[in-house]
Structure 1
Amino acid sequence: MISESAVYATSGCVYAATLAVLVAWLRNVPDHGRRYCNLMTFVVGLGVLTSFLAAAGIGGVSVGGKTVLLSTFLNDAVAYSVLWFVTAMLADVSRRRLAVVTAFPFVQVVAFQFGTPMGGLVALASTVVVIGGHLVLAYLFVGPIWQTAQRLPDERRLLHWKSRNLLLFLIGMLIAFAFLSLAGAFTAFGVHVLGQYIAVLIRVGFAGFLFVNIDALDAGGGQDASESGVSSAEFANSAPDAAD
């Protein structure tokens, strides 16, 4: 059977290959999209470092009878916070709201990594924080943040909408997998393999999606949204249907 270290090392190799592609791609990214792509490149680069540290077994601490690798904790806490931060930035929200949607994922990761292994009321409270946090993020992005995005050009608003839906689905899938794992639905080997697969899928998939669609940030430039290919009214009417 493949060891846990080999699984982490494989993830590190995938991140490293992706990082090389993204760094080369950055040369062709226009200035207006560079800060977004730089953040996603950082997330993938962090994945390289933390995956190889995890493969070496460095930074393990015991929590509730289970070993938590500080490298994977750092990877998750930073990566998911940055992903939500970038998605909110696409909607051009206020700094206060950016801070809120960045803090929630960090608290969720802390609760899951260090709270759920403790058992009892601590585990129950941590579960509420993780699941409830995702529901709060869903409310913010589908409600207030989506309303803020209405003033954006159609192409950029569509990019934010797709990014939001992609992230809500992928993180929701990760949370479901995480709690099924705690319930013993998978073998120890399956937990490591599937966990790393989902983690890589979220980071690499989201980075690739953003890089491919980064030109949408400049779509329409300073022109009014109504002058682009799809009118604001048509998009507003069609987006909720597509989300369903």
Structure 2
Amino acid sequence: MAEQIAAQIRFEIMSGQLKPGAKVGTNAGLMEKHGTSNVTVQRALTILKKEHLLEGRAGSGVYVRETAPQIITPASYMAPSDPGQPYRWVTEAEGRGQRGSNKVLSVAEVVPPARVAEVMGLESGEVAVLRVRLGLLDDEPAELTHSYYPADIARGTRLADRRKIPGGSPTLLSELGYPQVDQVDEVAARVATTEEYELLEIPGDVPVLEIFRVVRSSDRRPIEVTVLVKPGHLYKMGYHLQVH
């Protein structure tokens, strides 16, 4: 029952029904609303406090945290950075008044998962270059990405080593003659893996958002396939579609 109450309050926060800084109803009100005990209500509120969605104020009550769930717009990171500018993850964060950074966790040639291999047109046993990165906002983990690149494109470039890429991968791919012209995202919600649970510091059983992204160049060849994962209780994905 506590998990159900927490899920309802979480929905109200994510949907904007409960605004940042708003006081959550009194324990007595929540007990009456959900037909349950004070112990169960307290357990539900504790779940949401651990998720950093609620905060207790001594002698006052429980409030929605001041920072609203954040909308991330994937298309804003697709274009190469302006000359001399850092990766758009950093500049977009600055525009929101945040500090963005990336940690490159590993780079290696690997046999990719079956779905990635199929999209990239790889035969059984063929390898791709994998870059695993942790994106941070204000030093807090915001997304975990596993990005796969065709080995014949990535070998001998910064895509294949652990150095950060000036301007990010869109800039480098464009410089290599593979401008990004098309991006397709599939979004799903699921339970976190152990790696995601630890690196993204996910509390409890909160689901994650998974974005399976395929980026193609002007010749329609997939030049990057990324599995991007974000904590589902802190972020939303935003898309701007134009109908011609």
| Fold shared by both chains (TM-score > 0.5) | no
What is the TM-score of this pair, normalised by structure 1? 0.26
What is the TM-score of this pair, normalised by structure 2? 0.26
Higher strand share: 2
Higher helix share: 1
Q: Considering Cα pairs closer than 8 Å and 6+ residues apart, tell me whether 1 or 2 has the greater RCO.
A: 1
